[in-house]
Structure 1
Amino acid sequence: MLRVHSPPSAVRVVTAPKSERSRSPAGRASAPCGKLQLDLDTEHGLLADGLLPFSVCQTVTREIWAAARAEAEALHRKQKRRTTTRLEENVSECSFPLSLGPSEPSQTQSDEQLAGTVPAEEVVSLALKALSSALDRSGLSLPSANVSAAGGRPSPAEDVVLSRVRTLSLCAVAYWREVSQDLGKAAASLARFLEMQRRLYWRRPPWRGVNLGGWLLLEPGPSHELFQQFGARNSHCEWQLLHQMRNKLGPQRAAEVLEAHRSTFVTEEDFQQIKSYGFNAVRIPFGYWIVTGPSNGDLYVGPALDILDRALAWCKHLGLQVLLDLHGAPGGESGETPCGREMKDWRWERWRFEESLEALKIIAERYKGHPAVSGIAVCNEPSEKVPADVLCQFYDQAIQAIRAAGMPPDEVSIVLPVYRTERLDEIWRLWNKVFDGFARHANVAFDLHLYHCFGAWWQRQGLKSHLRMTKRDRKILRRVPAVVGEWSLALPDRAMASSENDEEAYRSFASAQLDAYGHASHGWFFWNWRDSPEHHGWDAKMCLQRHWLSPVEWKDIPRSQRSLVGK
C-alpha cells in the first residue's frame, strides 16, 4: 500500500514561454526541455526541499524506465546492432565491475556524459509530462486561477525537483545503452539512477552507526562475559552456550540469567553515549526467537519483543535511526556462529524460509510507522552454499511481505545481504536480469561486510596493501546501492608489524575506511559497540576513547574546517 502525504498548500505546474525561462538567475538550472516549470511552496515541507510523494515518484520512475529501455532498443535497431534478445543474453556474459575496467565514471558526470552522444531529450520530456500528470492526480496542482501568478524565475525547490528528474532520466538512458557494452559503466549509471530516485522521496541522512551485537543474539566476542562464565572452552555460539548453562544451572535459572543479560547489556545510557559520539543510527541484530519464540525444537529462549520495544522508544527520544536486523534465521542462513548455531554439517535446505518471512511480517506489522525504524535487514550473512536464485527468490518475497505489512519505501529501507564482495557479481546480475529487482523494488540496498582480517590472503598483506584495498571498496560502493553493515579496525599481525606506530596504523586504517564507506548509498555500521577487551579494533567505545575513530570523519563538516572541531 502506498501512503501519500498531505499536499502542501501551494504547488503550481505551468508552461512557461521560452523567453521567460531564459531569465533564470545565474547558477540555477532552467526548466529542462522548455516544457514545464514547477513553482513549489518553500514553507510547507514535502515538496519544499525537492521531495515528492512516493506515489508520484513511483509513477515517474516507471515511465522513465520504460521510455529509456524503449529508446535504447530503438537506437540499437537504428544502428543495426544487436537485437533485444542478444542484448539480454550479453548481460549474463558480462561481469560485475570488481575489476572496474579502464575508466571510473565520476559521481558528478555531466548530463551530456550520462546521455551519451545522442540526445535523450525525448525521455526527459516524457518524464516531465509524467511528473505533471502524477502531481495533478495527487491533487498537488492549484486551480487555474492561481497558475497565472507563476513567474519565470524557478524556485529553489523547483530547481531541485526538475534537476533530479532530469538526471534520473539520463541515468536510465545511459544504463540501457551501456548494459550490452560495458556492465561496469551500466552498473554506475544504475546506481546513480537509484540514488537520484531515492533523493526524490527519502528524508533521512545515510546511516552512520554502530552494531549492538551480542545483545539479542549471543556471540563470543561481544558477549564474552557470559561465554567466559559458562562455557568459554566448549561454546562458540548461543546454542552451545545455552546448552552449557542449562547443564550447570537448570533450564529455569539459565533463562533467568539470559533475561538479565538482555535487560542490562545495553541500556538507555548506551544509546545516549552513541548519540553523543556523533552516530545517527544503530543496527540491532536479533535471532528469530526474539520475535516468535523458538520453533522446531530449537534451544533458544524467547520471545522478547519487549526489549526491542524499549530500545526503539529510547531511539525515538534521542533521534537515532534503527536498522532492525534478522541476524539469526530459522534453521540458520549458514552454519556459522553469527546465526546463533554453529553446525559443521549445515545444509542450505535447513533454512526455514517460510518461518523467516513470518518473522519479518511480525516485525513489519509491529513497528510500521515507528519514527525510529528506517531499515530492516531480511537476514545476515547467507552462506555461499545457498544458491543465488534461491536467495534472490527469498529476497523478492521478503520485500513484498514487508511492504504489504505496512512499511513503504519512503519510510523504510530494505537491506538484502550479499555479505562478501566475491559474490556480488553473481547476485547483482541475477537480481537485475531475472527479478528486475532494483527497478521493481524501491529503496533496497545490498549489505556488504568489509573486513580485512579473515582469510589467508588478508593475513599476508601489509598495512599499505590494506589501505589500498579500501580504494577498491570505494569503487565497488559507487556501483551498487549498498550499506556496509559491518566493518572494524581489526588488522592481521603482519599488517601491524609493517607499521612503525600501532596508534597511527589504526587511525590511518579508520580514516581510509571511512573515506571509502562514505560512498555507500545507505551508509555504514561499525562492528561493534562493545567487544572483548582482548580483541583490538572491534570495540567502538575503546576505538573512540583512544582516538582511532574520530566523529569528525563522518559528521557533515567541510574538510577545511575539521581541524577546528573540538578546539
Structure 2
Amino acid sequence: MACNVYIKFVLVVCVSWSVSFAVGQPFKAVNLGNWLVTEGWMQPSRFDGIHNKDLLLWRINENTFNFRVFNKQFVGLSQQGSGTGLVAESNDPSNSETFQIEKENDNSNRVRIKANNGCYLQAISEDKVTADFQGSGWEDSNPSVFSMTVLSDKTLRGEYQITNGYGPDRAPQVMQDHWNTYITDDDFRFLSSNGINAVRIPVGWWIAKDPSPPKPYVGGSLKALDNAFTWAEKYGIKVIVDLHAVQGSQNGNAHSSSRDGYLEWGDSYIQDTVDVIDFLAKRYGNNPSLAAIELMNEPVAPGVSLETLKKYYQAGYDAVRKYTSSKFNNMNAQQNIDYINNDRSSQLGALTTSNGPLVFVGEWTGEWKINGASKEDYQRFTKAQLETYGHATFGWAYWAYKCQFDHWSLKWMIEKQYVTL
C-alpha cells in the first residue's frame, strides 16, 4: 500500500560541539513551527480577529487593496485617453493602482470595486472593464456588481498576512500574546522529560531587524528566541535555528512569508540573507545551547537555481564560521553543496554512510493519507520512521510540536501514547 511520507533533508552548518555527538547519539528533535514564523493552517483561529480575513493579498487596510496579476504587475488606471481604462503595467503600486472593495451586506460574494478616481469598475463587455461607473445599487442589471470567488485552498496565511491583516495598531499585541503563550518554559520541560534533546526553531528574516522590522512585521520575535535559548540551557536541550523565511521568498509558500505566492529570492537577495545569518551567528554562536544554523528552508527549483544556491551556501557558511569553531570539519560547505546534487534515493542511502556529510532529517510527521487507520497503525508507522531516521548522522526533527491537526502534533502524539521516543 502506497503512503505519502513527509520528510525533508536540510543543509545545516554545525556550530558547536554537542554532547549528543560526543556519545554517538544524534538529535531527537521537534520543530517549533507556527511560533516565530506563522503557519496559518496549523492554527487557523489566529486569523479570526481580522476583518475581511478572506482578503489578505496586497491589502492596504480592511477595504483597500492593490491587484497584482500574473505578469507580476499591478492593475491600475490607464494614463491614455480618458484615464478610465484598466492596464497592468506598473511594477510598484501607487494611488493609481489602489482600489476599494465594497461587499453587499447580505452576500459577501457580491462586490463593487471603486478606483481612485472615485468611479466604480464596470463590465462593458466580456473582455473590457472600465473605471467610469457613478451609479449605486446592487441589482443584477448593475454592470458594477461583480461576483467574487475566494479560493480558500489557495489563500496564503503566513506571517505577512497575519501582521498586515491586523494592521499596525493591533498586530504588535496580537503577535506578542502569541509568542508569550504558544511556547513556554513548561514546553521545554515537557520535551526534555519525554526524550527530546533538541528543537528546530523556524525564524524569519525580519528577526535581524528587531525591534523595528519593516512593516507589516512587528518586533518581539528576537526576545522570544532569546527566551528559547534560556529554556534550552535550563533543560539541557540543543537549538537548531532554521532560517525558514528569506526576503523575497524562496518557495512562494505562506511559511516563507510570501506576500502573494511568488518566489522572488535570487542573486539580488543573497547579501541580505547572508546578513541575517551573520546576525544570528554573531548573537548565538557562542551560546552553549546552539547546535546549528540552517541556512535556508526548502528553496524550490527552478525558481531558485542551483548556481545561486551554491553561491549563497558558501557565503552563509563563511558568515557562520566567523563566530564559531570549526570542529565539524567533516561537514564543509563544498560537501554540502555537492550533496544537494543527489536525488532522493541517494540521500536515503547516505543516511547510513559513515564517512559522508552529516545528515539531518529536518521535517517528518506521523500523519499520512490513509483513511481509517487505527491507533496501532499510526504507532507502527511512526515507529518505522523513528527506526529509519534514527540512522541519520545529525538526527531528526518531528513536524511539529503543536498543531491543530492531532497527528502533526508531537505533544498530542506523546500524551495520547501514539509514539514513544
Q: TM-score, normalised by structure 1?
A: 0.48
Compared CA separation, residues 295 and 312, structure 1 to 2 (3 A): closer
Partner of 2:286: 369
Partner of 1:510: 382
- Give ranges in structure 1 of 5+ residues lacking alignment: 1-197, 415-430, 451-470, 552-567
Q: Cα distance, 1:207 vs. partner?
A: 1.1
Letter in 2 for 1:538: W
Partner of 2:270: 353
User: Going by fraction, where is strand more abundant, 1 or 2?
Assistant: 2
SS at match of 2:286: coil
- Give ranges in structure 2 of 5+ residues lacking alignment: 1-16, 55-151
Partner of 2:313: 395
Q: Which of these residues, 360, 371, 392, is aligned with residue 496 of structure 1?
A: 371
Q: Cα distance, 1:255 vs. partner?
A: 1.2
Distance in 2 between the 1:447 and 1:298 partners? 37
Letter in 1 for 2:273: S
Partner of 1:291: 208
| Structure-to-structure mapping, 1:503-542, within 5 angstroms | 503-532=375-404, 535-542=405-412
SS at match of 2:361: strand
SS at match of 1:537: helix
SS at match of 1:524: strand
Determine if the alignment matches structure 1 residue 332 to structure 2 residue 249. Answer: yes
Letter in 2 for 1:321: K
Determine if the alignment matches structure 1 residue 478 to structure 2 residue 352. Answer: yes
Distance in 2 between the 1:413 and 1:218 partners? 34
Partner of 2:224: 307
SS at match of 2:311: helix
Q: What is the aligned-residue RMSD (CA, Å)? A: 3.4
Letter in 2 for 1:267: T
Q: 1:255-313 CA distances to partner (integer Å, 9 max, x unpaired)?
A: 11111211221100000001111100001111111222499955212353222111101
Contact 2:199 2:397 survives alignment (8 Å): yes
Partner of 2:304: 386
SS at match of 1:282: strand
User: Going by fraction, where is helix more abundant, 1 or 2?
Assistant: 1
Q: What is the aligned residue count?
A: 298
Partner of 1:543: 413
Compared CA separation, residues 339 and 256, structure 1 to 2 (3 A): same
Distance in 2 between the 1:223 and 1:215 partners? 10
Compared CA separation, residues 359 and 484, structure 1 to 2 (3 A): same
| Structure-to-structure mapping, 1:107-256, within 5 angstroms | 203=22, 205-230=25-50, 231=53, 235-246=156-167, 251-256=168-173
Distance in 1 between the 2:341 and 2:411 partners? 24
Distance in 1 between the 2:374 and 2:259 partners? 33
Distance in 1 between the 2:381 and 2:47 partners? 30
Q: Cα distance, 1:537 vs. partner?
A: 1.7
| Structure-to-structure mapping, 1:435-450, within 5 angstroms | 436-437=334-335
Q: TM-score, normalised by structure 2?
A: 0.63
Distance in 1 between the 2:407 and 2:367 partners? 4
Distance in 2 between the 1:447 and 1:267 partners? 39
Determine if the alignment matches structure 1 residue 260 to structure 2 residue 170. Answer: no
Distance in 2 between the 1:525 and 1:413 partners? 21
Q: 1:200-236 CA distances to partner (integer Å, 9 max, x unpaired)?
A: x953631101110111011113343313443376652
Distance in 2 between the 1:342 and 1:320 partners? 34
Contact 1:220 1:237 survives alignment (8 Å): yes
Q: Cα distance, 1:413 vs. partner?
A: 10
Contact 1:474 1:517 survives alignment (8 Å): no
Partner of 1:92: none
Contact 1:206 1:522 survives alignment (8 Å): yes
Contact 2:252 2:260 survives alignment (8 Å): yes
Q: Cα distance, 1:359 vs. partner?
A: 1.0
Identity score, percent: 28
| Structure-to-structure mapping, 1:12-27, within 5 angstroms | none
